[in-house]
Amino acid sequence: MDEREILTRFRDGTLDRGQAMALLAGVVPAAVPVAAGALAAPAAAAAPAVPAAGPSGPARATAAPTPAAPAVPSGGEAGAVAPVAVVGMALRQPQAPDTAAVWRQLRRGHCTASAPPPGRAATGTGHYLDAVQDFDAEFFGIDPAEAALTDPQERLFLETAWEALEDAGCTGSRLDALRTDDGTPRSLGVYAGAGSGEYALLAAAAAGEPGGSGPMPRSDTWSLANRVSALLRLTGPGLTLDTAESSVLVALHHALAALRRGECRAALVGGVRLLLHPSGRQPGAGEAVGAVVLKPLARALADGDTVHCLIRGSAFGHVPAGPDAACRPAERLVRAALRESGPGTAAAPPVEDAASVAAAVGDAGAATGMAVLARAVFRLRHGTPLPRPGREPAEEPDPAATAGPRRAAVCVRGAGGVEAYAVLEEYAPERAAPPPQAAETVRARARERAGEPGGQEAELVLLSAPTPAHLAATAHRFAAFLTAPGPPPGLAALARSLRTGRAAMPCRYAALATDTDRLARRLAGLAPEDATDLRHGGADPLRLGAVPETRAYLAALWAGRRLDQLRDLWLAGVDVDWAALEQGRSGAGAVVVPLPPSAFLRSTHWLGGGPTR
């Protein structure tokens, strides 16, 4: 029997629900109503697939589904694919300048619509980001004149992509360690969603004014992803997509496929939208930017990454407006995503869509899908229902009373009819036990307060930045982080995350620390003149990095815990592959924890130095 006959017999009553579900082998048996411009949640997810990941390791993966007709299952894992982990995220939304502020705002659920911020020549209410004219060109080594001609969407995406990669611990030697089968390093793909480049329209208007001639910015968006790849010397695919509001979820689908085909070892997915020209300022329009970093779950666990949640399946396609009883294309997308997702709860996962984020970002164009995706990631990461303005909060099933972890679906329809759907799942081991680094911190501090011996051994903490001023600003940010309410990460995990996950830049600071309290005090007092500045020559004067025996020498120093010598060599500019040295380390110090991003020192870069419009 084909799918249509199974559904017909189920509706006629000749097949009961269990028989139909078994025959469909992962196809949702009940009709899914399609509302104009939005996709309702599927009636059920019934695909037998891989078991959920547990503390002992990742779920098993099988081959990707083929378009063959469904067959009666034989107890295997039909259609399911290996889960992909979200290991890093960075966001910026109206009235929320960073990821932590976005989370606080989502919990409050208030509307961010406002008048244009200072510096904007725009009129009318909208959902605006602050200071979009500002950019830290020096951090990325971009000439100020080039920065002024670069679309602010591209600049904002570049900063956000960097913050997401730092959140994932993936800008240093751990980035180099992402190698293809043939040994090519930095195998990270970049998939971006973006709309039209309105900055060029502003430039065209300015060129028509007296004295307005001059270089013109590009109007295309291909460089949005390619700029990130070029600056970081990435070797994975780079792709910018525009399917209107669904752009980021379509980009997500392509990134997941590339990871599963082995085209890259990790992927960055994100999107951006700015209202720079009057043509884009429709009622309720908004701005936002965000990015997530993805890795196959097995790789993320092996690397010691923090797993925010899992992506279990995705699909996209063109869905004509209004119900279509003949082919129900929206239903097809749901079934395709659920076939990849494996077994879930008896009820369909709650759906996050454009309406879920309308109060936070308005109609954010190509960034809408990013805002919807981030909302679902937050909800699963924290296990907290979020307000849904104008609607009841989504029900959060009790995982203890269900067959598996919590799930959520995300669905966004683009203005042109391209609709994308993905299924997310919480990473259950994160809920089962406190992070080891937090327990390590509590135990170490208890010993210190009691005056007991056995305190934590010294750890080598490294910070670097492009200039001494950047270094001091980053140090002060870390000092505030370590003294904020709540337990900080364990010292070993913090030190490892900085050594392996952050890029080594020319202005450096290194410290041997035995506890986070003393480290915070030292960082708070760091001044720009305390930096070891390698910008003007003097890096690795003995050219040790060019000698093959240096690697064995560094490994011997590490094995002998000669941290003083390793510190001095790194400060002298010797290239140290910290990820290679860390291999084989176990315990709390082997994990990578999310840390504050490097500090940006932004200044205005705009056409002719004029205001944003």
Q: How far is CA 122 from CA 113, 281, 549, 603, in A?
A: 14, 9, 61, 21
User: Residue 145 — very low, low, confident or very high, per pLDDT cuts 50/70/90?
Assistant: very high
**DSSP β-ladder status, 507-513 and 459-465:** antiparallel
d(CA 412, CA 248): 9
Q: How confident is the model at residue 587 (pLDDT cuts 50, 70, 90)?
A: low
Q: Which residue did the predictor score with more confidence, 144 or 30?
A: 144
Evaluate whether 436 touches 587 at the Cβ level (below 8 Å).
yes
For residue 346, the model assigns a pLDDT of 44
Residue 251 structure tokens: 């980009």
- What per-residue confidence (pLDDT) applies to 120? 77
Q: Is pLDDT at 132 greater than 60 in this prediction?
A: yes
What is 419-476 written as a DSSP string?
EEEEEEE--HHHHHS--HHHHHHHHHHHHHHHT-S-PPPPEEEEEEESSHHHHHHHHH
CB 290 within 8 A of CB 157: no
Query: Which is nearest to 101 in space by CA: 114, 91, 111, 112?
Result: 91
pLDDT score for 47: 33
Least confident residue range of 353-362, 453-462, 542-551: 453-462
Q: In this structure, which amino acid lies at residue 32?
A: V
**What gap in Å lies between CA 544 and CA 570, rounded to an integer?**
11
The confidence score (pLDDT) of residue 397 equals 53
Angle between helices 516-524 and 491-501 (to 10 degrees): 50
Answer with the residue of higher pLDDT: 433 or 298.
Answer: 298
Specify which of 16-20, 245-249, 275-279, 331-335 reaches the highest per-range mean pLDDT. 245-249
Structure tokens at 578: 């910290």
Q: How confident is the model at residue 234 (pLDDT cuts 50, 70, 90)?
A: very high
Question: Which of 13, 17, 25 is closest to 80 using CA atoms?
Answer: 25
195: its two tokens? 């709309």
| CA atoms within 13 Å, Cβ hemisphere of 139 | 24
Bigger pLDDT: 77 or 463?
A: 463
Model-level pTM?
0.82
Higher pLDDT pick, 431 / 89: 89
Please give the average per-residue pLDDT across 29-50, as a whole number: 33
Distance of CA 553 to the CA centre of its chain: 36
Q: How far apart are CA 41 and CA 558, in angstroms?
A: 53
Of 105, 113, 93, the closest CA to residue 283 belongs to 113
Extract the tokens encoding 568: 């001095």
The bridge status of strand 134-135 relative to strand 603-604 is antiparallel
Helix (H), strand (E), coil (C) string for 367-431: HHHHHHHHHHHHHHHHCCCCCECCECCCCCCCHHHCCCCCEEEEEEECCCCEEEEEEEECCHHHH
Q: What is the pLDDT of residue 6?
A: 55
Q: Does residue 70 surpass a pLDDT of 70?
A: no
Residue 199: its pLDDT value, please?
87
Taking only the tens place, the pLDDT of each residue in 483-521 is 999 888 899 999 999 999 999 999 999 999 999 999 999
Residue 249 has pLDDT above 90, yes or no: yes
Give CA–CA dist 552/171, Å, rounded.
24
Query: Vertex 226, ends 120 and 217: CA angle to 5°?
Result: 40
Model confidence at 321, pLDDT cuts 50, 70, 90, reads confident
3-class DSSP assignment, residue 139: coil
CB distance 253 to 420 below 8 Å = yes
| Range of 76-80, 215-219, 285-289, 590-594 with top mean pLDDT | 285-289
